[in-house]
Structure 1
Amino acid sequence: MMRVDRWTPSDNLKLEPNALVAATEIDRNLALTAGPGAGKTEMLAQRADFLLRTGTCRYPKRILAISFKVDASQNLKARVRKRCGLELAARFDSHTFHAFAKRLIDRFRLVLTGTDALDADYSIGQRRVQRQSITFQDMVPLAVTIVESSDIARNAIRQTYSHVFLDEFQDCTKEQYALITACFLGSAAKFVAVGDTKQRIMGWAGALEGIFETYAADFEAEALNLYQNFRSAPRLRRMQNAMVRVMDPPAALDDAELPGEDGEIEVLHFKNATEEASYLADAIDSWMDKEAIEPSEIAVLVSKQQNLYCQELRSALQERKVPFREEDQAQDFASEPVVRLVTDFLLVVSGSAQPEAFRRLLEAVVYSEGLDDEQEYRARSRWDRFVADNRQKIATGELYPGDRAALAKLAQELIDVIGRDAVVAFSADYAQGNRLDQLIEGTVARISDLVEDGTDLSAALAAFSADRAVRIMSIHKSKGLEFHTVIVMGVEQQTFWGKIEEERAAYFVGISRAKQRLVLTICDHRDRPDGAPRWTSQRTAHAEFLGYAETYA
């Protein structure tokens, strides 16, 4: 065990002052707000390292981290293991809200009575069936019922966890916050809630207004801010800082504190969308060819309706044989968690080195379950055998991925190994109707068709998963992602036409996705695209948004 005053950040990382305060806080609850790229996840990983190494989280107490997405939960768990090792990280539980709720239901199921009562073999399905099945949306409310009605359950939770991390807290809903307060309000647990209020663009999903203020009042938490964006080059950071001066003046830095000329900002003005599409497609092709930038490191963002705005760009990219993936609701199939799961598995068993796919699978299959050391060892052993067996079958030709029936059987075996309930927990959509089965069937069909056409399995999977493809998406879908080069198309009054505070926040999210190069485009005229019910052809540049860039371009 290490003395508190001897602890330093793991791997000799340097934290900004407020991040260091947050990582080493012992007595206070904290409400930590931070901009994109400010190292929120890293701060939480370092805090876990501090709490565990110094014994501030005393054995056998544990740390509970709750995130809103499976990948965020897994990423944090992986970082904690890297920072403090497997032995200490075994006392770190990282879950999504729904995964945490399900653990409570499974452990304290007998607390539920009457119409809420559940049999031991209950399932999560598309509708509520008394005692037999609950929906994905039922999970958090039922967990709240358990904790509020059972002293035993509530005390067990409080005896287990001495510290709680809440990630991306700006998107917390009322039901989720009710679960947190039911479990811990009035307890001795110490909290750090982390989020970015400037990125709170999920109001449509029920995000609680003023959640940080509510939490700070309920838990007597003190506010801290992280200001540094370690993702973007200095020139881009100064542009972002110019926006912060308008959105949150106390959070802004002097430009002198952001030295350096690295980074690139361009403002491109075109007569029409055809000229814009041709120029951008050539530029993207050149970046990939001459600068060796991976296509997946290039993103095209549009405020709204990217399926309409990018029609001509899609055609131009296709003409130049530039791979791209469009991320709107109809076309983001490959980014679905279960599709990624099946694709990663096939990448791993295809025989080629796939370290990232292998890591994601282990996180999903083994390390996300909060198992103890012995259970985790057995789970890892079972998983390794399953992978090895199927790798051998593919290598010997016993299993041919172009055989749709064989591939469908393998995909079902994968789901069975992981557990259908665990897969359903990946997304709320999977608990509704037959969405999960449709996605699995679609994955099998697309991959088997690619292989049947003669494409090598690894190449087919890479093309299918679009790991090597330019990403086209709305600003909303870009939240939490980062790219070497970001193109924000249509920085025009007619594109950012909503309430200025909301549009400013969305624009900030878009520009802050860029690590090295940011390109902003404007057109004088955009012809009405196919399928556009309302459209303004004559365009006006958004003076405020472009003004932030022009100073630093």
Structure 2
Amino acid sequence: MSRPDADDEASTPTMTRPTVLVSDADWRPSGIDELEPAAWRALYHEGNTAVVAGPGAGKSEFLAQKAAYLLQTGRCPWPQRILAISFKRDAAANLRRRVAARVPEHADRFVSMTFDAFTKGLVDRFASALPDSWRMPHGYEISYASERQVEAFLSDIIPSAPGSIRLQVAQLHASRFIADTVGSWELPVTVPAAGPDDAAAYAALQWWRLRSFGRGPARVDFVMLNRLAELLVRCVPKLRQALRITYPYVFVDEFQDTTSAQFSFLVSVFAGGPTATAVGDSKQRIMGWAGALPKALERFAEAFDATTYPLTWNFRSTKALVDVQHVIATRLDPNAVPVMAKADDDIDGNPAEVWTFSSLDREAAVIADWIAGDIAASGRAPADFALLARQKIADFESRFRAQLSRHGINVRNDDALVATMRLQDLLKHEITRLLLGLLRLADQPRGLPKVWHEVLATLTRIHGAEGDNIVQRRIGDDLSTSIVGLRAWLRAHPPERTAGDDVASFLLGLLDMAALRRYVKSATPGEQLHLVTDAFQARLATVISASAKWTDVADQFECSDAVVLLTAHRAKGLEYHTVFFLGLDDQQWWAHDRDPIESTSTFFVGLSRAAQRIIFTTTSPYARHGRIAEFFAMLDDAGVPEINRNWDPGMESLESMTEISATPFRRLRQSGRRA
């Protein structure tokens, strides 16, 4: 049959069949020293597995090692594949790169994609097999409804709803309607002629009639595509069978973010079939506003009859920080298992503090001076430091940029909008990495083997040539030729005399644009190539004029040697040596009362990004007794001292500041108080 998903690269006959397999007794992890005992048990477990893994436990690394084990031992036999589903594009790409680095000979049999890419690919390929009532004869377009549009829709359908359910329809919330109501409704094989007598089903059906049953293209979002994909697999048993044969093993990362629609799809397609492994941490459930299910891992364990394995090692944070994290973890889950820190201390002074300031200006000045002093004393890089906030990152940027620039330190705002993309998304995008890789290879002919391999791997995926050695050789030859031509063009066009648009146009001219558009459309549903290239050009325009060499252009574009400014949501999955968690006040956490659990989870995610040191800051004298008083209470319970930093930074040396602030935490720890 045809490829069952949009990211499937090569047809089976062209795949390279490995000739040597490893026995269970001889298999060892690749790229790491060891796995914790619970991870070994979860890796060897032959049934469905739920892995509960907190911050720093190495969730992605565990999945990469399990993939290597299944592929190298032949438990996933050739030519079958492993399907890995992530919720973010960069997470899917990261997992794919990890597996390729550990078992390159099997990389073409590890398919890593987002949930949306998988379900959209099914609908795009097999839409003609949908029941007649649900086919979209005029095609569809991706369209997201605003909360105001949903409110108007609900107001319109209330008067015509059956009297017996009218009140329940009126009680539906616009903010949760798409995720909860549309996402939870299992599409019937035949669209009912009369409205259902259940309020949620009635409203969902009216939504489908409005958005999908008109004369023009259907207007659908990814929740609706998910529902169509579930109906498709449910109605076409041969398709479900083909998916289960192709993918005898299925991984789902960050399972705590699973929505109702996604969960029911997984159950419909894979329950009772492939061996499934779900990895997640309910304490890091920060996507409830987008429909993430409560207790998703528990529901997975029940639906898939899975064995649960808690991972209890933290490879990121030191013991002092793990102790602080555990206090907050037990507020989110009273049964949270204590975690063993595997990272060694490399700092003097307190690993956690609350700093109070009289103003935002003083906050930025003191922190900038402190970072500069720590870099000078330790040799750490600016990228080892992160400035996190709950939201409104732009409110902090100008002050910190100005203060850090006094020390020659750059700031990168990962939340900044570049054309229509956030900078973090642009920098991580596969096409951005491809274009920058071409630029670097042309500017620096030698010494960049990793860049060469990454560019070649991306081009291989774009052309669907993974596993086809002949096509891969041709792509490599074409790449060498393109780099030679690009090198000559760069020499003739120095940065100070070249427009960013011209550079982007020349780079794109080296590529097969038709293949590139197809790849972006399939790998990133709802995203069009021009959105990425427009953002790439916009970013290039901001850095090219200030650069004397093309290497400088690429460096300034990535701005990797900078203190990072980002939200706690965007920091998820990342780690930094020292984290400043800014804005511990009612202004930043204004929505805390709406959902204290999810707000506390966001707080937990932010503080757990730190490997060695976490510093919370506030400029509000009322914060301790305001909306987030419970945050301060938790930090007090963890023995985190509060330090007034309102003296003149020029009056104290870095050493004396460290000595003063270190005393309270050490006293608490020495007194036996457990964080």
Q: TM-score, normalised by structure 2?
A: 0.70
Measure how far apart 1:290 and its partner are. 4.1
Contact 2:314–2:339 at 8 Å: present in 1 too? no
The corresponding residue for 2:96 is 77
2:402 is matched with 315
- Taking a change above 3 Å as real, the CA distance of residues 362 and 76 of structure 1, as seen in their structure-2 partners, is farther
1:484 aligns with 2:590: no
Candidates 48, 52, 57, aligned match of 1:33: 52
CA deviations on 1:444-495 (whole Å, 9 max, x unpaired) are 2442463345532221222122222211122122111111221112334664
**Which blocks of at least 5 consecutive residues in structure 1 are unaligned?**
528-535
Aligned position for 1:510: 606
Secondary structure at the aligned position of 1:10 is classed as coil
Secondary structure of the residue aligned to 2:564 is strand
The 2-side partners of 1:495 and 1:405 are apart by: 38
Q: Look up the equivalent residue of 1:213 and give its one-letter code.
A: E
Q: 2:105 aligns with which of 87, 97, 104?
A: 87
How many residue pairs are counted as aligned between the two chains? 535
For residue 503 of structure 2, what is the aligned residue in structure 1?
407
SS at structure 1 position matched to 2:76: coil
Tell me the CA shift for residue 40 of structure 1: 1.1
Identify the residue that residue 265 of structure 2 maps to in structure 1: 179
Query: Match of 2:230, SS?
Result: helix
1:378 is aligned to: 471
Q: 1:417 to 1:237 in 2, by over 3 A?
A: farther
Partner of residue 14, structure 1: 34
- Aligned match for 1:61, one of 61, 72, 80: 80
> 2:375·2:382 contact (CA, 8 Å) conserved in 1?
yes
Aligned equivalents of 2:342, 2:63: Cα separation in 1: 24
Give SS of 2:248's match.
Answer: strand
Deviation at 1:86, TM superposition (A): 2.9
Do the aligned residues in 1 keep the contact of 2:49 with 2:308 (CA within 8 Å)?
Answer: yes
Q: 1:42 aligns with which of 25, 38, 61?
A: 61
Using a 3 Å threshold, how does the CA distance of structure 1 residues 326 and 147 change in structure 2: closer, same or farther? same
Q: Are 2:314 and 1:229 equivalent residues in the alignment?
A: yes
The equivalent of 1:423 in structure 2 is 520
Inter-partner Cα distance in structure 2 for 1:157 and 1:323: 48
CA contact (8 A) 1:32 1:223 kept: yes
Q: 1:285: which partner in 2?
A: 372
Cα displacement (A) at 1:217: 1.8
Greater CA drift, 53-62 or 459-468: 53-62
Cα shift at 1:167: 0.8
CA RMSD of aligned residues (A): 3.8
CA distance in 2 between partners of 1:275 and 1:449 (Å): 29
Taking the aligned partners of 1:472 and 1:243, their CA distance within structure 2 comes to: 24
- Secondary structure of the 1:192 match is strand
Alpha-carbon spacing, 1:32–1:405, altered in 2? closer, same or farther (3 Å)? closer
- The amino acid that maps onto 1:334 is L
CA distance in 2, matches of 1:73, 1:229: 22
Q: Matches of residues 97-496 of structure 1 in structure 2 within 5 Å?
A: 97-105=115-123, 107-112=125-130, 114=132, 137=222, 139-187=225-273, 189-253=274-338, 261-263=345-347, 265-267=351-353, 268-309=355-396, 311-328=398-415, 330=417, 333-337=422-426, 340=429, 341-342=431-432, 344-350=434-440, 351-352=443-444, 358=452, 361-362=455-456, 364-367=458-461, 373-374=467-468, 378-379=471-472, 381-382=474-475, 385-386=478-479, 388-397=481-490, 400=493, 402-410=498-506, 412-413=508-509, 414=511, 416=513, 418-424=515-521, 430=527, 437-448=530-541, 450-492=543-585, 495-496=588-589
Letter in 1 for 2:69: F
Q: Tell me, what secondary structure is at the counterpart of 2:351?
A: strand
Relative distance call for 1:130 and 1:111 in structure 2 (3 A) is: farther
* Compared CA separation, residues 446 and 508, structure 1 to 2 (3 A): closer
**1:368–1:479 CA distance, 2 compared to 1 (3 A):** farther
Query: 1:403: Cα distance to partner?
Result: 3.6
The percent identity for this pair of structures is: 30
Q: What SS class does the counterpart of residue 249 from structure 2 fall into?
A: strand
Deviates most, 385-394 or 461-470: 385-394
Q: Equivalent residue for 2:660?
A: none
Q: Distance in 1 between matches of 2:588 and 2:499?
A: 46
Change beyond 3 A, Cα 1:494–1:487: same
Secondary structure of the corresponding residue to residue 336 of structure 1: helix
Which stretch shifts more, 509-518 or 444-453?
A: 444-453
Letter in 2 for 1:382: I
**TM-score w.r.t. length of structure 1:** 0.83
* Equivalent pair of 1:65/1:166 in contact (CA under 8 Å): yes
Query: What CA distance in whole angstroms lies between the structure 2 residues aligned with 1:214 and 1:111?
Result: 30
* Correspondence for 2:148: none
Structure 1 window deviating more from structure 2 (507-516 vs 436-445): it is 436-445
**Who wins on radius of gyration, i.e. which is larger?**
2
Q: Deviations over 1:277-305 (max 9, x none)?
A: 11111122233444332222211011232
Give the Cα–Cα distance (whole angstroms) in 1 for the partners of residues 343 and 412 of structure 2.
Answer: 35
Indicate if the aligned counterparts of 1:70 and 1:95 stay in contact, CA closer than 8 A.
Answer: yes
Residue equivalent to 1:532:
none
Partners of 1:273 and 1:526 within 8 A in 2: no
Q: Supply the distance in 2 between the matched residues of 1:541 and 1:204 (Cα, whole angstroms).
A: 21
Q: Which amino acid in 2 is paired with 1:345?
A: L
